[in-house]
Chains A and B, each alone.
Chain A
């Protein structure tokens, strides 16, 4: 291809200048008082053990200290999937754009699909003990459904009622946990469950509960997203 005609020299100069400005601005912002010992992160690390008893500090920041932020994030994901489903309708009349007739894939998916779902739930439930959490485990579960879509072309269709039920009940449960935090504890997403001790599966108070809701919601949404993008060919 004629790359020279497509990429002009002005574009390269403008991009270089914009990137230089962005990186310089960000490096100034990041180097501003970041080396002091009293940064926000070290304060959160200091109070983490007494307030949440979670072994994973990133998880406790995401769900406990910034739980309201996570609610907004899940809402943005939900609105995006909602907008996509407005545009691409009538999923039952569409067929798969990938149609492999692969025997190995069809037999292998029978073994792999339950294992992938199990691994996704493991990542979700152990979010407060090890790297992982609701978003990562949800995407792993959605990847299992992607494998099903690739292997079983049009024979495998999602039951959209179950997807909608999962999504709405987990979202409602997420907000209900937050409201219970207001009623029983000090603030929205305040902790009202026993904390346990660091390293146990039943520890961390509210964090595993929130991550289970987030995991179910994200897995349902990403699965619906995968179906919307993989099934866009009109049959007739």
Chain B
């Protein structure tokens, strides 16, 4: 019974549906929330869905991590692809950098205007 769940197509389907739902949640938050903090945190949730998708789709049942240990003593084709993991490591660091810069802009904006809601922003004189 459990063996039928431990198959590569089933796991890829779970990862696809899960990252699809996570991306939807992030986009709904980014489009409908009014608080600047919540918008940027929703965008980082949407980014996390793509990380999960890239890492998960390159996993196959029966393959091991590309690291040598006592059990695995030779690099072979029985290992998962190391390139997506390295690229996602790069992407995670860039996501941290962009999120921290955006949050510092939010803090500065709040210090200047005492306002975080995007529907009350009036710095460019829209409502006048």
Contacts and interface: CB of A to CB of B under 8 A. Distances in A.
Contacts, number: 138
Contacts of B108: 87-88
A6 B23 contact: no
21 contacts: A6-B33, A18-B23, A34-B58, A45-B75, A49-B75, A55-B67, A56-B67, A57-B66, A57-B75, A58-B89, A61-B83, A62-B89, A77-B96, A80-B100, A87-B108, A88-B104, A199-B68, A218-B93, A229-B100, A229-B107, A232-B107
A58 B27 contact: no
Interface residues of B, number: 48
A225 interface: yes
Given A19-B20, A58-B67, A80-B97, A42 B81 contact: yes
Interface residues of A, number: 57
B83 A19 contact: no
Nearest to A3: B32
Interface string A138-182: 000000000000000000000000000000000000000000000
- Main SS of chain B's interface residues? helix
Contacts of A41: 80-84
A22 B69 CA distance: 37
